[in-house]
Amino acid sequence: MSREDLAPGPETATETTDADRFTNARAIRSTALFEDYTELIADLTEEFGEARITDIARRLGVTHPTANKAVLRLKREGLAISRPYRGVFLTEAGAAMAREVKARHRLVVRLLIAVGVPPEAAEMDAEGIEHYVSETTLKAFEAYLDGRG
Amino acid sequence: MSREDLAPGPETATETTDADRFTNARAIRSTALFEDYTELIADLTEEFGEARITDIARRLGVTHPTANKAVLRLKREGLAISRPYRGVFLTEAGAAMAREVKARHRLVVRLLIAVGVPPEAAEMDAEGIEHYVSETTLKAFEAYLDGRG
DNA sequence: ACAGAAATGTAGCCGATGCTATATTTCAAA
DNA sequence: TTTGAAATATAGCATCGGCTACATTTCTGT
């Protein structure tokens, strides 16, 4: 006996299922770390002219071996480049991701503040929320902030 | 030479640092899965009187060994109980988590829709966002939805 | 009652993401 | 210039969360 026989549930035909949503969330979870790293490397490069492993690690609150391993993955994915014992730099793809993430971050913070969230909490929560905001939702946020919401 | 010497940055004294935010986000990431499972087990129990591994797996879009392992972790954490080859049930702690998560989920979806996000996108994005919404932000959402925003 | 189907459990693999401990290299100051 | 400190790299460990393959148990229909 399958449960669908007993209770088809609200979803029919082409609707989005629970599984779709969870699968989507899992996919995002796996890219969130890359987004954090590219954004941070962009920040550090702007501030200091380069992003050093030690600084990356300190800003993220992890040990440097952890940061180093993550940078290896970034390089493998074509998002960053670096030479041994030297700073890390973003590729064009990495820089593009960083710009995109930063824009999303700012928009999420602005929206949270606009609906009454204290700035400190908005910054804190945005750090996690930003990764899950879709293009559609982003557009809606923009419209809302432009007073058309 | 440490970078703090060159650029103290905006944070001083008791302010929240980047590292604090990222550490917070990582902590949440590690509980997000438990929240998904407890919420789902609560739903299935209400619908069918029990939550079976196969149904949990299908709803989450994972294989049953994956669901089984997660349930083992839930049991280890005191959030669920089960006997071999039988359905899974929440402990009081698990049920409390489920109630809390469900309330948060509904509130996030309502807020997203209120600021103009299409319901379908709101449901999709809420699945990830809900885990990162703090108590403070939740209160702000409530106030906003009550027209006091 | 029993055979086959369905559900559940277990073993073992993999990659991601954290850690500590230990090289190695670079940098800075005497 | 050289030497000690700082930064970086690497090795090895653990857990999580996904998978496939296979064993076991329960359920169901004849």
Q: State, as a whole number of angstroms, the distance between the CA of A3 and the C1' of D28.
A: 15
pLDDT digits (tens, 9 = 90+) for A96-139: 999 999 999 999 999 999 999 999 999 999 999 999 999 999 99
Is a pLDDT exceeding 60 seen at residue A54?
yes
Is a pLDDT exceeding 70 seen at residue A2?
no
Contacts of A141 in chain B (CB under 8 A): 115, 117
In 3-state terms, what secondary structure has residue B51?
strand
pLDDT band at residue A148, thresholds of 50, 70 and 90?
low
Fill in the DSSP letter of residue A88: E
pLDDT digits (tens, 9 = 90+) for B129-138: 999 999 999 9
> pLDDT value at position A142?
98
Could you identify the residue whose CA is nearest to the C1' atom of nucleotide D29? A1
Q: For all residues of chain A together, what is the average pLDDT?
A: 92
- Fold of the domain spanning B18-148: Arc Repressor Mutant, subunit A (1.10.10)
> pLDDT value at position A15?
80
Burial of B61 (0-12, 13-18, 19+ CB in 10 A): middle
Is a pLDDT exceeding 90 seen at residue A12?
no
> Looking at strand C, which nucleotides approach a protein CB closer than 7 A?
6-12, 16-21, 25-29
Structural contact between residues A97 and A79, judged by C-beta atoms closer than 8 angstroms: yes
A1 touches strand C (CB under 7 A): yes
pLDDT digits (tens, 9 = 90+) for B28-87: 999 999 999 999 999 999 999 999 999 999 999 999 999 999 999 999 999 999 999 999
